Amino acid sequence: MADLSAEANHIEKLYQFGERLNESKDKSQNVKDYQGIIDAANLSIKSKQLAAQLIPRFFKFFPNLSGPALDCHLDLLEEEDLGISFFYFLFYIFDRDCLLSVRVQAIRDLPLFCKDNPENVSKIVYILVQLLADEDFVARDAVNKALMSLLRQDVKASLTTLFGRILNVDEPSTEELIREKILNFVRDKVFPAKAELLKPQEEMERHITDLIKKSLEDVTGAEFRMFMDFLKGLSLFGDKASPERMKELVALIEAQADLDAQFTPSDRLGEDFTEHYREFTERLNVVEELTRATMKKLTQGMAEHNKAMAASKSEDEKNKVKTQKQNTTSGLRTCNNILAMTKPLHSKTPLFIGDKIITLSWKEATQASVPAAANVPGKKRPSSTLSATGAVASKKGRGTSGMQNQLVNRALEGLSQGGRGGMRGRGRGWGGGRGRGTGYC
């Protein structure tokens, strides 16, 4: 019972210290009272609970005791057993909620150390950051609220400290967890409150942008997307942003992509790509099947166009059918290019698509120039090397390669004018979808 009596005396003294400080007009003269609160803070659970409120409340009046006062308050955050005596533990039910209440109270009152001492903001934010990993929900909630309070008081100093901790991870085993908690806090608490916190708007948006730029030096893909989504939500990079601002965002993306880095395939030697190869081959087969099916439809359509051309009477009808035939020819030529490019990909050592063996429609074989022959009476005039549209040359060029597709030959029959109408750039239309068969007509 002696311990209980001593504890009661300690509590009584703390109340007396607090009352005298409250009543004093010049609190800076009550140095002994404030020192008494600091000295009594570690005597019992009840004294700790009371000291956790009194120390920050009168902190601003005693600058000479700021160091001991802050250290004492931090002890209330770090103490595990809180000085529980064996006697107290034996005769009274030990309530863990009492321990938690001291810790939570100490966390909640941390911002008071900065209320009249703004130079302490960075230090207190740094301390609170360490507590973000607290396993207890109530304590963690108190940390979040304390940090938000400091952000409202001095957003620039608070953000600088938060992002500084993201960058400086000295002990990966423990610091990575804190880094993750900071990022979660920034994502869940800071970003949604940007309209309230980032004032003056232009200055603070620029400040947080600079902080994010530094943080992007070491981020995961998900973190990069999170930061970019936030930046796009700022008025600095909004709908009315200048081209220079958008270039700034593009530069961030380019830096993250590291486009100038040399590709080093040796980094992946020894990896098992069996599953990737199987899926790639399956997708390749689907592309080829769809291409052949499309070629079949186009060939059938070409036969119908030939019949329609024969049945056409007016020039308008003939021109319309001629346009349809040219479009069909372009489609067949595109399909032929696709099959030419996919064929070597089935081999164990695929050929480069630019290899001379692979003949594509836009890589027509060059023909040797033939000197113009003089017109001789009784002899036929030699055919021109190139027609007006290059159809003859293109057919001859493909024929010399030995890989001319018969379907394309049939498609070209009956065309008074060959050429590539509507052809340029259409080859890229194939394979646009990521799934199997998606994105194909």
- In angstroms, the CA 412 to CA 417 distance is 9
Q: What is the H or E stretch that residue 317 is in?
A: helix 315-342
What average pLDDT does the chain have? 77
Q: Which of 76-80, 327-331, 429-433 has the lowest mean pLDDT?
A: 429-433
Q: What is the H or E stretch that residue 176 is in?
A: helix 172-185
Query: Given a cut of 50, is residue 384 above it in pLDDT?
Result: no
The pLDDT value recorded for residue 343 is 85
Which distant-in-sequence residues (6+ apart) come within 8 Å of 312 by Cβ? 318, 321
Provide the pLDDT confidence category of residue 389 given band limits of 50, 70 and 90.
Answer: very low
What tokens were used for 329?
Answer: 């020819």
What tokens were used for 300?
Answer: 């059938």
3-state secondary structure of 200: coil
**pLDDT per residue as tens digits for the range 61-80:** 999 999 999 999 999 887 55
Pick the CATH number of 2-191 from 1.10.3210, 3.40.50, 1.10.287, 1.25.10: 1.25.10
- Torsion 198-204-210-214 (CA) sign: negative
Q: Which residue has the higher pLDDT, 147 or 399?
A: 147
3-state secondary structure of 259: coil
Q: Which residue has the higher pLDDT, 307 or 439?
A: 307
Q: Is 131 exposed, middle or buried (0-12, 13-18, 19+ CB in 10 A)?
A: buried
* Other Cβ atoms within 10 Å of 112 Cβ, number: 21
Q: Is 361 exposed, middle or buried (0-12, 13-18, 19+ CB in 10 A)?
A: buried
Side-chain-side CA neighbours of residue 127 (13 Å): 23
* H runs (alpha helix) in 58-120: 66-78, 86-91, 96-108, 112-115
**pLDDT per residue as tens digits for the range 296-320:** 999 999 999 999 989 888 999 899 9
- In angstroms, the CA 319 to CA 49 distance is 94
Q: Which residue has the higher pLDDT, 50 or 438?
A: 50
**pLDDT per residue as tens digits for the range 155-164:** 999 999 999 9
Q: How far is CA 162 from CA 131, 158, 385, 386, in A?
A: 13, 6, 74, 71
Which amino acid, one-letter code, is at 141? D
Query: Given a cut of 90, is residue 204 above it in pLDDT?
Result: yes
Cβ–Cβ < 8 Å for 362, 332: no
Q: Which residue in 340, 352, 344 sits closest to 291, CA to CA?
A: 340
Domain with CATH 1.25.10 in the chain: 2-191
- In angstroms, the CA 324 to CA 422 distance is 11
3-state secondary structure of 349: coil
